[in-house]
Every structure is written in C-alpha cells, then in structure tokens.
Structure 1
C-alpha cells in the first residue's frame, strides 16, 4: 500500500468491541509483515526484517517457554520452513489473535526491527493474564497483571537483559492504551530496575567486573597460537582471523561480519619513524559516520594476514554469489553442466550437485543426508528399487529458494552485495563432520563466531576445547568479541596517546559519554601511568615534565625554608602558609611582613601607586579631623601615616634604578598586628574586686540590691 493505514479508536465503544473492530480492520487492510504470511498461520516469516546480523527466519505465537527447535518435522532442523508446534502449546485465544494483530499493526506503523522482542513480551503478558484471571483476554490487563509478567521475566531472564525486556512490555501496554484496548487503562511503568552501572575504580567489586569484561591473557595467547598455526579447519581460520582484526581496532562483531572484501586501505608511512601502517574501512552499526580506522605499524602485518585468510576462506562462496548475480539458475561445475539436459537425476547426481562435486558411489550416511535435504526443502522424489530420483527443475527451484535474504544486496544501508562481502561461506562450511554445499551459500551469522569462541553444548565445542586450552582451574578458555572491544579501549586509554574524542571516533561511537562504560583502568593502573609520566616531557606538561632536572633537598632542610607556599595578591605575592594558621591581617597586606613584591610586575606597581594616592588623601582627611578634635581621629591619623610610610618605602625601592627588574622585595621591620596577641592582652587586664570581705551569698545578695537601688535613683534624677 502507498500510504499507511492508521486505526482510529471508537471512544464510545467498550474495550472488547474496540478490540474486535481493531482485529477485523488489521486483518482486512494490512499484510502481516511479508506477503508470504497469513493471519491463519501461527508462524510468520521475518526473513530480512530483523536487525542486521539477526539470522532468525520465523516468529511463533506460542506459549512461554516453548522451544520451536523441538518441533521440526521428523526431528530435522531447517530454516526453510517453520516448526510444527502443537495446538496446545500455542497462545490461548483471544490473546493469539490480538498478538498477531498488534505485531502486524505496529510493524506497519513503525517498521521496527525488534519484532522478536515484542513477541516475547506478549508471551509473558499472555502467561500472566492466564495465571491471574484464568483467561487471556487482553482487555483485562491491569497493573497487577503487568507486575506479574515482570516477575516472570525476572525468573527467566538475566539481569543484563531483564530491564530491556520490561521496557518492551511497557511499550506493548502503552500501545494497548493508545488503541483503547484496555477496559481500565492506567499509567504503568516497568518495575524491573535498570542495571546499576558502577564506575568505581577500586575494590573487589571493580576487579570482578573488570575480569568479567576483559579477556584473560591465556585466552589471547591461545588465540594467537591458533592464528599462527597451519590449521586448515574453517572454524579455526575464521574465528582466529576475526579476533586478529578486532585486536587491530575496536569493532563490533556485526561490523566485522558485514565488512567489505576491500576492507584494507593503502598503507601509510609514519614520518617520524618511517614505519608502515595501514587502515581498515568500517561502517559503524550504531549511527556513527563511516570511517577508516588506523592500524598501527606493529599490527599492520597481522591485519593483512587476517584479511587474506578470510578472503581465501570465502572465495568459493564469493564465486557462487557472482554466479547467481548473473544467472538465475543453479550453479554446476563445468564437468557437470550436461546434467541440465537431464529431466530427472538420481541420488549420485544429486549428491554431486549439492555436496561432493563428483559423481561417485554413495556412503550410507550420504544417502540419508540427501533424503533429509530433499524432504526438508519439499522436493518431490520417486523411489524405486534402484534408488530415488528427482526432477532437475524441482531441485533447481529448491536451491534458488535457498538464496540468502535480499539477494543480491547483503547490506541495504551501504548497498554492499553478497559478492563484495568479506565474511561469506558456503552452507555447511563450519560443520566439522559434513561437506560444504557446492551450490548454496549465505552470510556468516554471529552464532557461528559465538560458538567458536565459547562452548555452548557438548556437541558444539569451541576452538579452545578442541585444542584442549584450559585455565589454572582446569576450565576451558573462552572469549567474546565484545571483550576485545573493551580490551582495546582500556589499552589505548592507559597509553594516554588519544583524547576522549579520538577514542570515541576510533570506536565508532556517536557520543564521548559512552567511553566511560569501556574504561576498565584500575586505581593501580592510573598511579602507574602517573609515575611513568614523571620526568618525561613527551608524556606530561608542567613541573612534572622536567622533575628529573631539579635539585632535591632533604626533608629537614625543606622545613627550614621560610617560603613554602605563595598566592597572588594585589601587591604581589603572599607567602603565608594557610595550612598552619589563618590570615591574621586580612585585606591589610601592606602592613604584613609576609607580602612580597616583584619589581617589573606592572599590575602590582599600578595598584601600589593607586594606593599611594588614596592614602595621601585619607591622611589629609584624618589630620583635618584631628585638628577638629573628632573622637578617635588621632588613632586613624597614626594608622594612615604608618601605612603611607610603608608604601613610600616600597615605591622608593621600585623606583631605584640600581634594583634590577625581577628582584624580590620584602620589607623588614614590619610587625603586623596579631589577633592572637590581642586576645592574650585582653586576658591580662586586671579587674579590681568590689570587696575582699565578702564571705557568704547573703552579702552578695545585699550588694546587688544596693546596686539596683542606686541605678533606680540615678534614673529618676535623669
């Protein structure tokens, strides 16, 4: 449809009637995600609709905890058709119809790629409704039901993902309220708290978090050994080469899996050292601009070798991609081209086309594999005593359906074709016990890389377990691609060679604030970095940069130095040590023996001459007041005269041509008034006693009474 269909709620109707109208309208006007889907089906194809790198093919409207992989026909796992889930394990009605309608409507309006997460949130809501209400009518949704759904999420989902799942549930409920599908709508937010992000740099908690997010040195050494070995195992070559490239620059796994075949840029030469480096073309997955990430000279050869290994590994799949871009027919090797003329082909010929590439006698397991492939892809076959045969056209049609989503375009954001991708493989390429397909290919999913780096089940061993690499606790080593990203960010921050802005660009981030989550420098690392920078002008600025050229003195000698600290004042510098005591003459610096002037300091000299003019005027005013016998004028005149004398002394020295510029000037014979001395003088004032013959309280009371009477009498006289 050219324009989106928007549902307008009928405000006057009740929730159930509104729900019925909503379901009817969506089923009539909207296609459920893809043309191949239908509202009557309980499994919908999402091929090409999910997030980049998401290899999921179907969504299932099933109950909570149902695993579709257990219900494929004949027990065979195939992504070419959905699992056959029993009716009793599907969502209960009427919630199932509502879930299908909401998913289709939401995708029509938003084109959101997080379809799987919303379906999972609907499963939790359906289970909570049934537990609390005994039915699954969505109109009966209340905060109590939603809180129960959050409890179910907490019971099944780890702390890392439970908060985001709660937000998906919150999104679903808000949609229901907007569409007026809830009988008693209310404002509700997920009760699952977001995981607290700690930025502490000390303590056991930080060490454990650091250990969890950074790769172990043993795992890095083991992966380096695998990379440098002569292994011909496809999984080892692929995983070690990917890790090698991700140690050249901090990348996301999805960016690596969607990297172009011409990822390497021309070499560059360091002008200072003459060393040769290179660069990698990257298209960030989270909105940042495409960039070329610098590869330092020490990692240049590793990057080149890793790219070459990946190119050689993907070369057969690349040839298939180029073939299907030019021909809309099944690929056949030159020596099997004659089979196109055969209307029907037998098992040996089928095996040659699909797997082996040569017509030969089949083993028992090969026959079973062929039959399984034909049945899984709905290829009609005729069985006789001499074996099974199929129509060549039917086989060709089934193979062409196996072309990857969006073919020939692999990345719709960049327009990159499958034939231009670095990470491409034939189907079955990474299965240790099977032969890769001769005519089918696909992009490499993240699951392949994940299983290679960490054992997920007894039948899917990691490359570490295959080679027997263990840690000191006799546990198999493991890695994750995100660990390598954390590792490089921590290393470059510890080196101090890049700014925070440069680290963000190098890592493909849109915001510098995201750098903090990747900073795993401990307090010990920071102290070591500071110690290493002392005395190195290339790594520090200021006093620390030339500390090696300074002359050090003993601690007891330092204690004898009078000038320990200094700060700027209007007249020069104050050398009072505030760590020992507060200032005793605040804002009267000229009458203090701890003020220091520097000849040539224009600012200080200007202030001093302004002070001279002001003091001259104030002294004249004080003298006039003294002549007029104004109270306390004598003390004020004495203070202004003393201060003016200090200023004149300083100006005389500053104006003396024999005193060189830059000379440090400190007046001698200045004894500033001390607040402590004044307090001590107050304690020395002697108070004359009223009488030395007082011996009792009655005499004190009598004296007080007489004193009060005298005060009253004097008041009456006035």
Structure 2
C-alpha cells in the first residue's frame, strides 16, 4: 500500500450501545479522516462545506430554510439541530472518503427530510431511535420534489450504512423505496408518463415567438442581456444541447464542412462534459444563418471581456488600461472622480461603497492606479475563484480559459441596474439565462419580476425552461424522420432509453406514424367545389346539374331515379315572391333543357338509350315551367303558399310502403316500370284500376 494512502475502516462494537457507537463514529470521521482538510477555509464546525465535485457549497441548513439565499449566513435555528448536524457531517466525510461522487446535494436533501421527521416526533432528533414512522414521514416530506425517487434512494443508503455501523436499528434494511414501479419517475414524469404529462414539458410556442421577435430587432434597440438571451436561445434551437454546455463554446465553435453530397454543412464543435467527449453537432439548414448571426453577436459583446481575461491571465502588476481609464502615470495621485472613472463607476456613491469594503472608509482620496490595482486583484480573486477558468477544473481535463470562452462577460455586463465594470470579470452560469426567462412572481420583492425578459419587452410573463428547448429539438427531429439512434447521438446521450423520455408524441401522432409504417393508412383528399364556370366547361352530356355539384351518369344507365324529384313531391311548399327560390327553379329548368338537348343530339348520333333522358326530362321541364309561371303571375299576391300535386313519396305513400314491407308485399315504382317495360304497361295497369 502506498505510504500516502490510509485504510478507511470503522469497526463498531456490538457490545456498546448505538449512542456510543455513534459518538465513536463521529469522533473517527472528525479526527481521523482528512478529506477536504487541505481546502482553504475548511472547518469541521463550519455551517457549510465545499462541494468540490459540483463547484458549490454543502450548507447544513434545515428543510424549512433549504431555499435560503447563498449570500445569507444562516442563524443557529436555520441550521440542523446540534444533535443531528454531526451525524450528517460524519456520513458525508466517511462516504466521500470511500467513494467520491456527485450526489451530495441529494444526500443533503435526504438528511433534511430525516431531521425534520425526527424533530417533529421527539424534539431532539436522536437518529439511534429511528422508527418506520420517521421514514414514512420523511418520504411524505419529499413527495413534492422532482427527484424524490433518487432522494429517497440516498436516504436508504444513509440508513443502511449507519445500520452497518450499529448506529440505527437493523430493521431499516427492510424498508423499501415507495417511488418505484407505478410511482417511479419513469412512469409518472419520464418515458412512460401519460401524454398529458409529457405535453406539459413542451416548450411554450409564444415564448419562442417573443424571443424571435426581439432577435429580429435592430441591435441598437437591444442591450447585452437581450443579445445574450436571444442568441443563446437561437443556438439551443440549432442542436439539442444543455445550458451548462454553453461554457464549452469557443469563439470559433460554429464551423462548416461539406457533407457526403458536397453541400455546405454548419455544425457546433465543443467538448461535452457529461459524456466526456468532443462532439460535432450538425445544424439544420433552416437554422444555419440564425446560428451564424447568434455567434457573431455573442463574439462582439464578449470581445472586451476576453481581452481583460487574457490580461489577467498574465499575472499583471499594472492597472488595466481600459478605454475610459484616466491617462495618468501609475503612481500619480488620483482625484475622487478619476478613482471612480478608473474603477468604472458612474455614480460616486457606488464607488465609495466599493472602496469601503477594502479600506474601511468611504474616502476616495490618496489613491493611485497602482494602489487601486491591488484592490482590484483582491476583488478579482473573490469573484473568480477558479480563474483562469469559469468553473472548477477536473483532474483529467481542464475547462476553457475565460480568454478562450465565447461566454466571457465582465462584471455587471448583463445587469440593468449597475454599470459594467471595465476591470472585473464575472463567471457565466446558467442562472444568467434561466432567471431571465422565468416570469414567476417574486412576492417577497418590490420588483416582483426583476429579470423577466418577457415583461421587459412588453409580453406576457411567460416561462421557458432551457431544457425544454432540448426536448423541442428532439421532437422536431423525430417528426421529420430521424431515427432514435441518430437523435441519441446528436443529443450526446448515453443511451436510447434516455432519448425516449424526450419524445412526447401524442397517441394520435403515434397512431399516424404506425399506420404509415404498416401501410394501413389511406389518404383522403377533399375535392374543391365545382364553380359555375367550371361546370360550363364540361359541356353537356349524360349528367345533370344539382345544387350540390354534377351528377355523373351514362346514356345507357339512364337518369337518376331522384332526378329533379322535388317537383314530384306533394310535400313541396313554395312561397310566391321568394326570389332565391325562383332563381333556383329557373337554373334547374335551364339545366334540364340543356340536358334534353344534349340527349337529342346523342340520339341523332346513334345513341338510342339517350331517349330515356328525354322521357325523364320532358315532364320535369314542363312542371318547372308551370311552377315558374305561377311564381311570376302578377295576379297572385306575394307570400301566397304554392303546393304542387306530386306523384309519389308523400307522407301517406311512405306509410303505405312501410306497411307493405311488413306484409311482404313489394310496391313497384311506376316510373321504373315505364323505363324498363315502356309506358304502355303502366297505362294498362291504370285501366285495371278504373
């Protein structure tokens, strides 16, 4: 075993009480383990510890104060109970010594829920007396968390380890995570979630249109925060990316190459931390120009920040000579106005507040550029703890330097209240983007939507999650024919199963896609209505006009049995003076006359079956002429009802027909008999009646 490694082992004594084993475990983790001891300002008794794997802090605040702002120092009543905080610290140091991991935030949430459950029941939270009711209560407290399934899993891991150390009862190993199977994230919110739940994750289209509208405005109307929001959104819509990957974009991240067909293809090239690999993400042609414009805008507004970062990376000893820096020697005494000018403060009061932080008073006299630079460097180290990087570097691979990053901003460059600092940098993080697209009301603030991009530009207070853009691009890719394997690779995911979570197809969409694959789908096309001019272009032939279109027949099939049948119905009631009805009757008459004339021409051309059309049309024309004469008769006052005596299908005839069917009797249609056997047969039948 190497000399610098130490065996990590704590062996509890089964003869001792759980309380004694707990004290020994705490003593061992505090005094024997050395994890994090080499980190500056680390202290066992501190209210927070550094989380080296997440570039943040582990704060030992209780569940009720878990949302306490990071800048606020928690009070004693906001921290874990003194009897519980040592348990949490011991577990974290022991577990991370054995196996460092990135799940410390979930472990803290598990501890918070467990502590609250114990405090509610016994006042002083004694973990050695934990019972199933405490576990059940902790599970209830975590029910509202999106990652509840994994937090409860972390809770079980905590209890299992403490059980191995004979600190908690052995029965805890029998407890089960309730958020599995039907209650799992996969079934409730993930790949197998109901369609309605998946639909909620879809990005708001109104938010897209609002951002696009601002992006299309002249640059003179946009400040740097507007350019950042719109340009980052444009790039996130160009390929499926995570908001955290923005820190991996270089100024030349947008590149181009020829595809296999020889066409120009633009793509984004950068390192993906989650998959630990470099990637080239093709950009759809429709987004190529937008992506190009977005990158150019970001390059322009961050150019000065990269210039300052490059200067800082050289460990300078002289003041950074920005464009507004006083043109004096480095050791010359400055006036108060020159001090404010050198530090980039527009208002003298703000400059005085800044100087008091480092000098203890508000005075702006007696400073030179050299002395100001020492103050600037102190503030620089405070604001940029990972400089020259924006995030904590890992052992195996370093992130981009700020001077290489596309997202290199100066301090307050995205602020609406403060002037941009010409001598200080500010690491970019995802909150700079997220919070500006969140229209939620902050009821505890005077300005309830302090950063909202949408209300700033006169839109409704919408909300757009950066990850929903990734969902949206995935869904568009699937709908346009990309395979799930291609989408998985394009999105830099580890497995196809993860991709399925993002494909929020509705049942109708899935049915349509399945029917297309199985070739069981029949396309139906609704034909456009035929206009009067189009109907006239057909000419005349074995078809006739109706109010609904053209009835197509053949000479030999004869006219339809419902041919102009309204005039043969005893139930037809017309109104004298109805101009619309009169015009329709005239059109019917003219159409029938044209049909009769066409039939006559067909007979002369040798088509003898066309005589059926003449026999059918002639009486119809006569009845229409009679009806027109009545409707146009000036002796009949307008409003008079007009009834024609029909030959068939009045109400009485229908009743008789129904009774005949019940009796097994078939009533033959006279017109059909005449068409089939001739009018002579019908006349013979009528003679039998008389």
Moved more, 297-306 or 454-463: 454-463
Report deviation, 1:207. 5.3
2:167 aligned with 1:181, yes or no? yes
Cross-structure match for 1:66 = 65
**CA RMSD, aligned part only?**
3.5
Cross-structure match for 1:433 = 417
1:110 pairs with one of 90, 99, 106: 99
8 Å CA contact retained: 1:464, 1:477: yes
Change (3 A) 1:249 1:517: same
Report deviation, 1:249. 0.9
Report deviation, 1:100. 2.3
Report deviation, 1:435. 0.8
Change (3 A) 1:292 1:15: same
Instruction: Measure, in 2, the Cα distance between the counterparts of 1:116 and 1:427.
Output: 28
Instruction: Measure, in 2, the Cα distance between the counterparts of 1:98 and 1:199.
Output: 33
SS in 2 for 1:208: helix
SS in 2 for 1:215: coil
Report deviation, 1:119. 2.3
Instruction: Measure, in 2, the Cα distance between the counterparts of 1:165 and 1:200.
Output: 17
Cross-structure match for 1:40 = 45
Deviations 1:332-368 (A, max 9, x none): 22545857436x8675444334334xxxxx64xx41x
Deviations 1:405-451 (A, max 9, x none): 43224454454222211222112122111112222213321111111
Cross-structure match for 1:645 = none
Summarize the alignment of residues 96-175 of structure 1 with structure 2, pairs less than 5 Å apart.
96-154=85-143, 157-158=144-145, 160-175=146-161
Instruction: Measure, in 1, the Cα distance between the counterparts of 2:336 and 2:36.
Output: 39
Instruction: Measure, in 1, the Cα distance between the counterparts of 2:256 and 2:190.
Output: 42
Aligned length: 500
2:248 pairs with one of 255, 258, 262: 258
Report deviation, 1:326. 0.9
Cross-structure match for 1:446 = 430
Instruction: Measure, in 1, the Cα distance between the counterparts of 2:518 and 2:234.
Output: 35
Cross-structure match for 1:379 = 358
Report deviation, 1:97. 2.2
8 Å CA contact retained: 1:324, 1:331: no
Instruction: Measure, in 2, the Cα distance between the counterparts of 1:543 and 1:523.
Output: 17
Instruction: Measure, in 2, the Cα distance between the counterparts of 1:543 and 1:90.
Output: 64
Cross-structure match for 1:504 = 488
Instruction: Measure, in 2, the Cα distance between the counterparts of 1:182 and 1:529.
Output: 54
Cross-structure match for 1:234 = 224
Structure 2 residue runs without a partner (length 5+): 443-447, 526-690
Report deviation, 1:117. 2.9
Change (3 A) 1:200 1:149: closer
Instruction: Measure, in 2, the Cα distance between the counterparts of 1:201 and 1:161.
Output: 15
2:78 pairs with one of 73, 89, 101: 89
Instruction: Measure, in 2, the Cα distance between the counterparts of 1:141 and 1:468.
Output: 54
SS in 1 for 2:426: strand
Report deviation, 1:506. 0.7
Cross-structure match for 2:547 = none
2:409 aligned with 1:422, yes or no? no
Cross-structure match for 1:460 = 450
Output the TM-score relative to the length of structure 1. Answer: 0.63
8 Å CA contact retained: 1:399, 1:439: no
SS in 2 for 1:123: helix
8 Å CA contact retained: 2:380, 2:425: no
8 Å CA contact retained: 1:201, 1:522: no
Change (3 A) 1:371 1:125: farther
Summarize the alignment of residues 679-690 of structure 1 with structure 2, pairs less than 5 Å apart.
none
Instruction: Measure, in 2, the Cα distance between the counterparts of 1:345 and 1:9.
Output: 66
2:462 aligned with 1:477, yes or no? yes
Output the TM-score relative to the length of structure 2. Answer: 0.65
Report deviation, 1:145. 1.9
Cross-structure match for 1:27 = 30
Summarize the alignment of residues 483-632 of structure 1 with structure 2, pairs less than 5 Å apart.
483-496=468-481, 498-526=482-510
Report deviation, 1:305. 0.9
Report deviation, 1:36. 1.5
Change (3 A) 1:85 1:513: closer
Instruction: Measure, in 1, the Cα distance between the counterparts of 2:255 and 2:126.
Output: 58
Report deviation, 1:292. 0.6
2:21 aligned with 1:18, yes or no? yes
Summarize the alignment of residues 48-63 of structure 1 with structure 2, pairs less than 5 Å apart.
49-51=52-54, 56=56, 58-63=57-62
Cross-structure match for 1:686 = none
8 Å CA contact retained: 1:253, 1:446: yes
Cross-structure match for 1:224 = 212
Report deviation, 1:499. 2.1
Report deviation, 1:246. 1.2
Report deviation, 1:185. 5.4
8 Å CA contact retained: 2:435, 2:451: yes
Change (3 A) 1:45 1:392: farther
Deviations 1:290-326 (A, max 9, x none): 3211113222111111111111122122112211111
1:351 pairs with one of 316, 329, 340: 340
2:383 aligned with 1:399, yes or no? no
8 Å CA contact retained: 2:376, 2:424: no
2:289 aligned with 1:301, yes or no? yes
Change (3 A) 1:266 1:2: farther
Report deviation, 1:21. 2.2
Report deviation, 1:401. 1.8
SS in 2 for 1:293: strand
Report deviation, 1:280. 0.8
2:388 aligned with 1:408, yes or no? yes
Cross-structure match for 2:623 = none
